Amino acid sequence: MPLTLASRLIPFALPDTEGRLVRSEDFAAYPVFGVIFTCNHCPYAQAWEDRLIAIQRDYGAAGVRFVLINPNDPAKVPADSPEQMRERARAKRYPFPYLVDSTQEVARAYGATRTPEIFLFDRDRLLRYHGAPDDNYEDPAAVRHHYLRDALDALLAGRPPAVAETKPVGCTIKWRTTPS
């Protein structure tokens, strides 16, 4: 089961693609914090990638901070190896840390199942939105409901999002066959 709405953020400390340890508490000063499980290989993650980059850039000055976490087992999906993650983060000039969840413990703790899957926390680090970025992975121009942007607007205005939960749409997380 995924983390339920109004649950408190589960702290984590994971390495980014440059080998630096990133802790969730590093972002304590930001009024809105997004934990986004995603990956390299998945077409849904790729389809939404530019939109997540744009949203981070659009909302960064307002105090929104995302971290991306890749929980996939690279033994099953070589495209999700830390090296390939680093290449992607550099090539796409990610405006957010891209973290390696090699033990998959963070993804399991959050109850994430798909890539991408968003967990958005308010100033008190309570979960206020969980789900997909918007309602159209195929065509950004055809999006009718901008779930993530709407949730950010609401939280920055001190309101709860009108839509607090949507079904995550994407590839299943590629779990290790044997526990680490």
Partner 1 sequence: MRIEFLYWEECPSHEQALARLREVLAEEGIRAPIEIVRVDTEEEARRLRFPGSPTIRVDGTDIAPPPDQPTGLSCRVYLTEDGRVTPLPTKAMIRRALRTLRARGGA
Amino acid identity, position 53? I
CB of 101 to partner 1, least distance (A): 19
Per-residue x/- marks for partner 1, 26-45, CB under 8 A?
---------------xxxx-
Name which of residues 57 to 96 contact partner 1 (CB under 8 A).
77
Measured from the CB atom, the residue of 124 and 138 that comes closer to partner 1 is: 138
CA-to-CA distance for 148 and 164, rounded, in angstroms? Answer: 9
138 contributes a contact to partner 1 by CB under 8 A: yes
Please give the sequence-ordered ranges of beta strands (E in DSSP) within the chain, or none if there are none: 13-15, 21-23, 32-37, 64-70, 98-100, 114-115, 117-121, 127-131, 171-172
169 contributes a contact to partner 1 by CB under 8 A: yes
From 8-16, 61-69, 123-131, 166-174, span contacting partner 1 (CB under 8 A): 166-174
Q: How far apart are the first and last CA of the chain?
A: 21
Of the candidates 59, 77, 80, 78, the residue with the CA atom closest to the CA atom of residue 133 = 59
53 contributes a contact to partner 1 by CB under 8 A: no
102 contributes a contact to partner 1 by CB under 8 A: no
Going by their DSSP bridges, the two strands 64-70 and 98-100 should be labelled as: parallel
CB of 47 to partner 1, least distance (A): 5
Of the candidates 65, 168, 179, the residue with the CA atom closest to the CA atom of residue 123 = 65
Q: Which residues bind partner 1 (CB under 8 A)?
A: 41-44, 46-47, 49, 77, 137-139, 169-172
